[in-house]
Amino acid sequence: MISLLGQFSGHLAQATRQADQWSNVCFFVLLLVQLPAAAILLSRLLRGPTRFPPLRPQLAQPAFLGKVSVVVPTLNEAERIAPCLAGLSRQSYEVREVIVVDSHSMDATPDLVKAKQQHDPRFRLMNDDPLPTDWVGRPWALHTGFLASSEQSDWILGVDADTQPQPGLVASLLETAIAHHYDLISLSPQFILSYPGEIWLQPALLMTLVYRFGAAGETSNAPERVMANGQCFFCRRSLLAQVNGYTSAKRSFCDDVTLAREIAAQGAKVGFLDGAKVLKVRMYEGAAETWKEWGRSLDLKDAASPAQVWGDWLLLLLVQGLPLPLTILLSILMSSGQTNLAMQSLLALNLLLLVMRIGLNFAIAPSYDLSQAKASWLFWLSPLADPLAVLRIFLSSIQTPKSWRGRVYKG
């Protein structure tokens, strides 16, 4: 009996040693993989201080008269379009016209536009034709508005109905584009958050973009890594005509990035700039809607190759998704007496990644309007949502949207 117990203890000890060896090997391999990923991330973040400064409101100049046609695509936007219409109406004489392209809304959206038109004749309401089978609704509406816009306008500004343009927005876009020779500018807005769940989750989702493409104002991205935001998409009319409007993005659920990369690939100067001082947006109501609606387009697979999509996701997993759980796991193991150089180095690296992530929360804080937020302190706990954000990008990468803004699309 004693002999059997001794043999069992010996086998158990051997199994434990083998498990420790395998875990050490795994930790060492993970360290070797995480180190270059962290270096890539650090190289991107270190370019932050050299980025283009945030845009500020500007006053219109006489030379700007009638330079811009604004196109607003709408579909059942009655609950949120009023601040957008009001903000556009406050833009000065640089705006020649505001074309609202409505996709046959079933709510009061057309009535709100018509009411605004009575006070501001620059507003024009039109309906787009039935959606072709090979188009997505949003680029189709934008393309329709572009074709209907005045040829006397030098610039086309696409604006989403959930935005809240601040006074001086369009003049600022014009001034920046002319002074710095931009052909296309899109803006990162200031996000208005209200409910606890979205305050906790949304910054983690936003961080997936920062980790992949750098901060807004990044000026050195190659065409295939250009970022854009269709909520405010400002482009030379001649350039849009050259690429046949929104045709190249007709099947894309991230048409803004798809079109911007197409234009950048042709040699145009494209900028994704910080517009928090000139543009606000209230995108979604609560965490569930943010997870469903915004999360399913953040993978950007319609604008990138599969290799880029999955390479970017692997980077996110290593530098955003794993640091928190790895730090917890390694801390527990080391507190129980298990420790070696690989574990110590891995813990140090992941603690560094967590510190960087917390620091970035301070960096992105100006991108949020929490003045009406409930439990605004949850913003500072958003790093805890990072693993969920990386999971959302994975789920989006393996799925094709079947519906969008009430429209159902065939697979």
Is residue 12 over pLDDT 80? no
The class of domain 32-401 in CATH terms is: alpha beta
Q: State the average pLDDT over residues 187-201.
A: 96
pLDDT tens profile 361-390: 999 999 999 998 989 999 999 999 999 999
| Of 316, 318, 311, 312, the residue nearest 33 (C-alpha) | 318
Q: How far apart, in whole angstroms, are the C-alpha atoms of residue 212 and residue 46?
A: 13
pLDDT tens profile 108-134: 999 999 999 999 999 999 999 999 999
Q: What is the mean pLDDT of the chain?
A: 92
Q: For the chain, what are the domain ranges?
A: 32-401
Q: In this prediction, what percent of the chain has a pLDDT beyond 70?
A: 92
| Of 156, 162, 149, the residue nearest 174 (C-alpha) | 156
Q: How far apart, in whole angstroms, are the C-alpha atoms of residue 116 and residue 304?
A: 39
Strand (E) or helix (H) holding 149? none
Provide the pLDDT for residue 2.
Answer: 56
Provide the pLDDT for residue 399.
Answer: 86
| Residue type present at position 273 | L
* DSSP 8-state secondary structure symbol assigned to residue 377: G
Provide the pLDDT for residue 11.
Answer: 47
